[in-house]
Structure 1
Amino acid sequence: MVIGVTMVNVAPGKEKDVYLAVKGKKGVREVYHVFGEFDFVVIIETSSLSELNKLVDEIRGIEGVTKTQTVIGAEI
């Protein structure tokens, strides 16, 4: 299992559309609307790193998404 946290910036006025599009994707566990440098924090859970990369690419392709930044979680 691979856990990723993707922070997402969205064009003004596109927040609801992007939220609904991201929330409906397989592998997205949670979506939080946040205030600060980013608009959303997306918690992703996939079975492999390549699946996580594919899902982040899909999120980047959503109309209104202007920037993403992803960190990968690992067990210690």
Structure 2
Amino acid sequence: MIEAFVLVVVRPGSEEKVYNALAKEGKIKEIYRVYGEYDIILRVEVENIHELDKFHDEVLRRVSNIEVTETLIASSFRG
């Protein structure tokens, strides 16, 4: 299982529209509107890297008004 955080920048004024479009997607486990450089942060869970690629291609790239995304793949610290 891969957990990733996707930072999203949207076209100004379209935050609610993008939020609502993304909130329907099952792979997104959490979604937050935030202040700062990014407008929305997603926590995504997928089975493997291929599924993450597919999520980017079939979900994020098809939502209008998304201008920029940055994906951070989570890693656990074990000491």
TM superposition score normalised by structure 2: 0.88
**Aligned pairs, how many?**
76
* Matching residue of 1:23: 23
**Runs (4+) off by over 2 Å:** none
* Matching residue of 1:40: 40
Unmatched 5+ stretches in structure 2:
none
Please give the root-mean-square deviation of Cα atoms over the aligned residues, in Å. 1.1
- Distance across 2 between alignment mates of 1:53 and 1:5: 14
Structure 2: which amino acid aligns with 1:75?
S
Who wins on radius of gyration, i.e. which is larger?
2
State the secondary structure of the residue aligned to 2:30. strand
- Distance across 1 between alignment mates of 2:23 and 2:53: 17
* Matching residue of 1:71: 72
Deviation digits for residues 19-68 of structure 1 (CA, Å, limit 9, x no counterpart): 01111112000001111110000000011111112112321320110000
- Distance across 2 between alignment mates of 1:2 and 1:55: 12
Identical aligned pairs, as a percentage?
Answer: 32
